[in-house]
Amino acid sequence: MGRRSLAAKPSLLRSRRRDSDRPGMPTAPEAPPVPGALGLPAAPAGKPARRRTARLARTLRTRWWPRFLMAGVLLVVIGVTLLSGAAKAWVVGLGAAIIFVIGLRSLSMSPDDYKREPPVPPGSG
């Protein structure tokens, strides 16, 4: 397209305006101001949402053994479903070893071992 063809079509030279650019058009709010707006259900105030999920997330964040246990289970599942041959044997064996070590450690702990010690301030050792 040369200059002549663009000059012949003035509609191509003008910039397009969006509907939201018009001065008289109201714009919609980005989010409803309250949970019950627009017919959306409001969560009950007495009960927090997804208590089990929050407890699981807190356990995975604060303790080391559930993370290793989940890694072992994940390795076993991936090895059994996706791999074959020697790779399958190595990955499933590694996952099973992780699960075995976590199981032995948890069975060898007494109830007193589960208790956490209070934090010690620095310099008071």
Q: Which of 30, 50, 32, 48 is nearest to 40 (CA)?
A: 32
Summary count for the chain: helices (H), strands (E): 6, 0
Q: State how far the Cα of 79 lies from the Cα of 90, in Å rounded to an integer.
A: 8
pLDDT for res 2: 55
- For 85, the domain range is 54-108
Q: DSSP letters of 96-123?
A: HHHHHHHHHHHHH--HHHHSPPPP--TT
pLDDT in tens, the chain (125 residues): 555 555 555 555 555 555 555 566 556 556 555 555 566 666 666 656 567 788 888 888 887 888 999 999 999 999 999 999 999 999 999 999 999 999 998 888 887 777 777 778 888 76
115 within some domain: no
What does the angle CA 91 – CA 79 – CA 104 come to, to the nearest 5 degrees? Answer: 55
Q: Total domain count for the chain?
A: 1
- Evaluate if pTM is beyond 0.75: no
pLDDT at 61: 83
Note the pLDDT of residue 11: 55
Whether residue 33 is contained in a domain is answered as no
* Structure confidence at residue 59 (pLDDT): 80
Task: Determine, yes or no, domain membership for 62.
Answer: yes
25 falls within a domain: no
Contacts 24+ apart (CB under 8 A), 105-114: 105/65, 106/65
Asked if the structure places residue 24 within a domain, the reply is: no
